[in-house]
Structure 1
Amino acid sequence: MPDKNQTDSHAESPRPSPLHATHEKLGATFTDFAGWQMPVRYSSDLAEHKAVRASAGIFDISHMAEFTVTGTEAGEFLDVALAGRLSALKVGRAKYSLLLTETGGVIDDVIVYRLRDDEYLIISNAANRDAARSALQDRTQEFDVGVSDVSDDYALIAVQGPHAEKILSSTSGITDLTTPWDEQRYFAWASASFDGAPLLLARTGYTGEDGFELLVPAARATALWAAVSTAGDPYELVPAGLAARDSLRLEAGMPLYGHELSRDTKPAQAGLGRVVVTAKERFVGQRHVEPAADARVLVGLTSEGRRAGRAGYPVIAGDSEVGTVTSGILSPTLGHPIAMAFVDPTHSDPGTELDIDVRGKRIPATVTTLPFYSRKK
């Protein structure tokens, strides 16, 4: 599922998650994230990251925004409003898509779920809640649809890792599941109940691991977190914060809005050209969605040693700056530095040797295909 690192205009001071009291009891360290006071870590970034790769982690992602699109022309509307062909999406399935500007840049990356023939759910990034809502509502004028912002009604909890399915299938209180656990496919969803409240379970995530995202009424979030945590004890489930979520998504080569995506970025530059269905009759941004031939493109960079390139660090070839790092870390899983960067297309081929300027010291780096890490199936 997509994420953010910008400030939401919704609140002058950080707003608490429905799970804030739970995080305090767990000893979380908090940060202002997209206008929310969210847990950045509970123990250590490294321990939480490794737990998700080896067993499972539970994340509070209630800062994400949710919109419903309803009406007889909901599918046709989304075909125009978004870059993908959402009218072809089957009920019970989900699809990653992009909300574009008129000039083909990215307002937000979203996941769309088809709930019924005439109803869709869109999960958007927290910092773009206002922008996404405004863009969607502005595009409804020709269609028999309504767009509703239901973000404040729900909490969103992610359970990610190789033991996620085992944990959730043994969680007390989850009943009335419409699809058996072992039949739930990636980028699909099932409905269920939790202690009598509606629950949507989506096999999606932002970590590169198997896992689920659980949408539940905000008033039931604390009880659901507790039930999942209890079921996860035998599987070494750990609470994980935003720092681990960021390092996990970077290893998996997943873009972060404000780093790899922006209004100045065309989808194809970020390796997301496949998301755009150019064969559609029309969609917002269609006329300008193709980048210029010399536009920088997103690549992976790997290095040796311990010093990692960070966002904003220059990428060098010879005596010339040919790119900029957008995200970088010392990979906890791989044990060496990794980064994503936009570079000139003439220096984007896998195997190309470049340098990253890390605080005045040139660190050799090699262009590689993304992702850096793929889980074993």
Structure 2
Amino acid sequence: MQRTPLYDLYAEYGAKTIDFGGWDLPVQFSSIKEEHEAVRTKAGLFDVSHMGEVWVSGADSEAFIQNLITNDVTKLTVGKALYAAMCYEDGGTVDDLLVYKFAEDKFLLVVNASNIEKDVDWMKQHLSGDVTVDDQSNDWGLLALQGPVAQHVLQQLTETDLSELKFFHFTEGQVDGKEVIISRTGYTGEDGFELYAKNDALPHLWKSLLSTGQQAGVVPAGLGARDTLRFEACLPLYGQELNKDISPLEAGIGFAVKTAKDAFIGKDAIVEKGKPRKSVGIEMLDKGIPRHGYKVFSGEQEIGEVTTGTQSPTLKKNIGLALVASEFTEQGQQVEVEIRGKRLKAVVVPTPFYKRQK
């Protein structure tokens, strides 16, 4: 299995690791619920160095990316980032990703760990003009400091004025003497920062952030809490809310699909198909937890399946995201989830389940 630059430190912080798409990563350090609560009320530090970093450069790089993704990269200015999807010709999703603009001819694409090889192959298949695709995923690590005290803690370690760094913006600077890219995008529903750095800087940054943040309540956090946090905020996970058979519109990320722009791969299919299915929130009325892959019914008709579900640590309710036929998506619509051979009642509810109070 692959390991991040922080693997040798995990035991020191009490990590319990699991196989996550071929990576040996911490699912928790203390407990998923404790880490979830810390991020909602104070802050958590995540090692997400398994994510992929692909640099795209050259005179035609913007046009290349514009054809590749669903969002409009021409709207980006230097120092800004956007969220997008890459699609197949039939409208299914190759991956969802972040695009950072460093210069008119230089971009960073951050992709999901399990998709790095597939994504890079897809990009290279569609190369045209003066474009270089450089996969540097093995050279870069990534930390995410997320939660209400994140800015207070990180500001103690950098001269960069973090109050000036707006949401979905980034800058290059130093954190505790190490060269980093500091961005402010997040994947937990909370405010926070991402620190991209070369591998050899990661252990120092990890220790420094936890030491500096200890008094403010910063804790190391694993993939378990990251999943429950992003789920409450209804942020999609590739392989569950998104995959090769699910379009970005169906997954509920239509805000990142700009059909008004010129052609991009998959545009015609996405427009033609529309949303025959839709991702909705469900809350269990009967006792039971909806899990990924569980079938959803209306009467005797199977209408879809759960993509993610759990007992929400924040709301203390059994909730899920389900991809169902569009005619069954009105709020208040009663449905049934098949759990261990029994049909249990649930209801369609508004999303996101959790929204940060600003």
User: In which range does the TM-score fall when normalised by the shorter chain?
Assistant: over 0.9
Query: For the residues of structure 2 that align with 1:77 and 1:247, how far apart are their CA atoms?
Result: 35
Match among 201, 216, 220 for residue 182 of structure 2: 201
The corresponding residue for 2:54 is 67
Normalising by structure 2, what TM-score? 0.97
Residue 17 in 1 paired to residue 4 in 2?
yes
Q: Show the 5 A alignment for 1:1-377.
A: 14-141=1-128, 143-171=129-157, 174-175=158-159, 177=160, 180-194=161-175, 196-290=177-271, 292=273, 295-304=276-285, 307-377=288-358
CA apart distance, 1:367: 0.7
AA aligned opposite 2:203: T
Deviates more, 1:267-276 or 1:301-310: 301-310
Q: Deviations over 1:200-258 (max 9, x none)?
A: 01001111100111001100100000111111111111111001100101000011111
Deviates more, 1:289-298 or 1:118-127: 289-298
Whether the 8 Å CA contact 2:280–2:322 is kept in 1: the answer is: yes
The corresponding residue for 1:4 is none
CA apart distance, 1:331: 0.2
Q: Deviations over 1:344-373 (max 9, x none)?
A: 111111111111111123322111232110
AA aligned opposite 2:280: V
Whether the 8 Å CA contact 1:53–1:162 is kept in 2: the answer is: yes
Q: 1:291 to 1:26 in 2, by over 3 A?
A: farther
AA aligned opposite 2:164: E
Q: Deviations over 1:246-276 (max 9, x none)?
A: 0101000011111110111111111122212
Whether the 8 Å CA contact 1:306–1:336 is kept in 2: the answer is: no
Q: 1:181 to 1:306 in 2, by over 3 A?
A: farther
- Report the secondary structure of 1:201's partner residue: strand
Whether the 8 Å CA contact 1:268–1:290 is kept in 2: the answer is: no
Normalising by structure 1, what TM-score? 0.92
Structure 2 runs not aligned, ≥5 long: none
CA apart distance, 1:321: 1.6
CA apart distance, 1:159: 0.3
Whether the 8 Å CA contact 1:167–1:228 is kept in 2: the answer is: yes
Query: For the residues of structure 2 that align with 1:186 and 1:44, how far apart are their CA atoms?
Result: 29
- Report the secondary structure of 2:261's partner residue: coil
Query: For the residues of structure 2 that align with 1:216 and 1:293, how far apart are their CA atoms?
Result: 40
Q: 1:154 to 1:357 in 2, by over 3 A?
A: same
- Count of residues in correspondence between the two structures: 358
